[in-house]
Amino acid sequence: MYRVVLADDEKWSLYGLSQMICWADYQCEICGMAYDGLSALDLCRREKPDLLISDIRMPGMDGLELTRCIALEMPRTTVILITGYSDLKYAQQALRLGVFDFLLKQITPGDLDQMLRRYQENMQKKARALSCSFYFSFFDESNTRSIADCMEDLCVQVPFQKACAMTFQYNEPVVISHALVHQQEDELLIAFLTGCNLITVFCFSDGSFSGSQAVYKRLMIGIPERVGISESCPTSAAFFTMYRQSILAVLTAQFWHISTPVQYYRWLQNDTLQHLESIHAFVSVKNVAGATMALDSLLCSRQRMQIDQMDLLIHRAASLCASHGLSELSFLENLDLYQYVSSGGTWEDLSSELHAAQHGDDASDESSRLMRRIMHYIDLHYAEDIRISDLAASFYLNASYMSTLIRKKTGKTYTDIIAEKRIDCAKKLLRSTDETVLEVAHMVGYHEYAHFNTLFKRMCGMTPAQYRKQMDRLPSASCEDNHCY
């Protein structure tokens, strides 16, 4: 049942509205009524309704101010405002605050019936939109749809024309709702959990965008370690393109250890190719040491270069080396820098590998560095369907060697590590969100509820439902560790 709060300073109008229809026919129940804006806000804070129907003109706090407070404190509550014709000038302001729709005064049962049916359809559509498979499909490279179209699928009204994406990277796993919405008159923020330790926020405005610090404070999502920001664009731009730009920017910050926000920018390919001249001079005379030093020096001198630009630079350098028979640097041909940085690689790591290619390196040090990158990659991707062969392929290794390396370095199998990380994160989700057990199972990578339930019980001694019930009885301070690894 949808919980409904009604607010109007005219008591007979409020009583008439409450008796006008059989609310249960629309899967609704009235959980409270208020006769002024302040009382309505207190009531909403207590009852956490799904729907608020409020008059726009009330003493103490009018409907617009009430809507503004609801948007800040209870973004999942839908607001419908009751207006007279003279109040329509406030419509644009109300829409910017996220109002679902308006009911004109002298409401008839037919008006209310039509509105509630639209509300039901919207809620059903929103429920489908928040399913895990639908939600994650937005961030697949096959998604060519516009930002505006994707927001429409999420049942989010965007009254602004410009957008940008900000990706926040944390040093530990984070948890938020599927699509966390924060709306003000001049800006709309929608946050998505895009990785174990990544939150991507799409910002909408007609003016200038808030800084990254203001964004994460408004959303109360914690202070990130790194921030990547896309270009500003119209909402007709491709959703995935803007997301990808913000990811490239945050990976650039990670690769170069940049603590300030990194803004994505478009670059000219010719500028990048000019940097190869110093390398070509050594490659042409088969001077491996000189070519390696030149590439290493170039990387150090081009700090803050974006990952996609650097990837092109490295592959052009690798092609030069291959064309002149310098096999010592052949590993660069297969280097996927996006994958390399995603798995924890930094410019120091790449510099060390260049040094090892030139002089040789201690095998144990090399395997330790590799293992750190492998574990970092697992931390970011454990919820995905990645087999040991897929993991090995990501690092250009044999699956058997990968399996042996993991067991040797951790004392556990790859399957055990994945299961532990998934169950630990599931415990955090069960403690800190209202997602159903089935949704939690999907979020951590299990598509069969029975398998998730059995595995959880074997590892934790109780079912997920029993675990959640037990945690609900404990004060938050006594809950076990608040991290999932």
Domains of the chain, by residue range, sit at 2-128, 135-263, 267-361, 416-478
265 or 339: which carries more pLDDT confidence?
A: 265
Partnered with residue 102 across adjacent β-strands are 81
* CA atoms of 192 and 443, how far apart (whole Å): 13
Query: For domain 2-128, which CATH number applies: 3.40.190.10, 3.40.605.10, 3.40.50.2300, 3.20.20.70?
Result: 3.40.50.2300
- Chain segment 351-406, per-residue pLDDT in tens: 777 666 655 544 456 677 788 888 878 887 888 888 888 888 878 788 888 888 88
Lowest-pLDDT choice from 98-107, 216-225, 278-287? 278-287
* CA atoms of 73 and 44, how far apart (whole Å): 10
Portion of the chain with pLDDT greater than 90, in percent = 29
Provide mean pLDDT across the span 285-293: 76
Q: What are phi and psi of 228, to 5 degrees?
A: -120, 135
Provide mean pLDDT across the span 230-234: 95
| Confidence at residue 484, expressed as pLDDT on a 0 to 100 scale | 37
Tell me how far CA of residue 66 lies from CA of 41, 101, 379, 484, in angstroms. Answer: 7, 15, 42, 38
Q: Which residues have C-beta within 8 Å of that of residue 164, sequence separation ≥ 6? A: 202, 203, 209, 229, 230, 231, 232, 233, 242
- Assess whether pLDDT exceeds 70 at residue 299: no
| Confidence at residue 477, expressed as pLDDT on a 0 to 100 scale | 39
Lowest-pLDDT choice from 5-14, 57-66, 429-438? 429-438
Mean pLDDT, the chain, rounded, equals 82
CATH superfamily of 416-478: Homeodomain-like (1.10.10.60)
| Confidence at residue 482, expressed as pLDDT on a 0 to 100 scale | 37
Provide mean pLDDT across the span 62-77: 85
184 or 42: which carries more pLDDT confidence?
A: 42
The 10 Å Cβ neighbour count of residue 99 is: 26
* CA atoms of 448 and 456, how far apart (whole Å): 12
Lowest-pLDDT choice from 1-10, 330-339, 456-465? 330-339
- Assess whether pLDDT exceeds 80 at residue 63: yes
231 or 93: which carries more pLDDT confidence?
A: 231
Structure tokens at 330: 């052949």
What is the b/e burial string over 207-225, where b = at least 16 CB atoms within 10 angstroms of the residue's CB? eebbebeebbebbebeebe
CB contact at 8 A, 97 and 64: yes
| Confidence at residue 41, expressed as pLDDT on a 0 to 100 scale | 93
* CA atoms of 220 and 99, how far apart (whole Å): 22
What is the bridge-based pairing of β-strands 198-205 and 188-195? Answer: antiparallel
- Assess whether pLDDT exceeds 90 at residue 234: yes
Lowest-pLDDT choice from 17-21, 59-63, 341-345, 353-357? 353-357
Q: Which helix (H) or strand (E) holds 363?
A: helix 363-381
Q: How confident is the model at residue 303 (pLDDT cuts 50, 70, 90)?
A: low
pTM over 0.75: no
Q: Which helix (H) or strand (E) holds 388?
A: helix 388-394
- Assess whether pLDDT exceeds 50 at residue 481: no
220 sits in the region (left: phi over 0; alpha: psi -120 to 50; else beta) called left
Lowest-pLDDT choice from 86-95, 217-226, 420-429? 86-95
Q: 135-263 in CATH: which number?
A: 3.30.70
- Chain segment 402-443, per-residue pLDDT in tens: 888 888 888 888 888 999 999 998 998 888 887 888 888 888
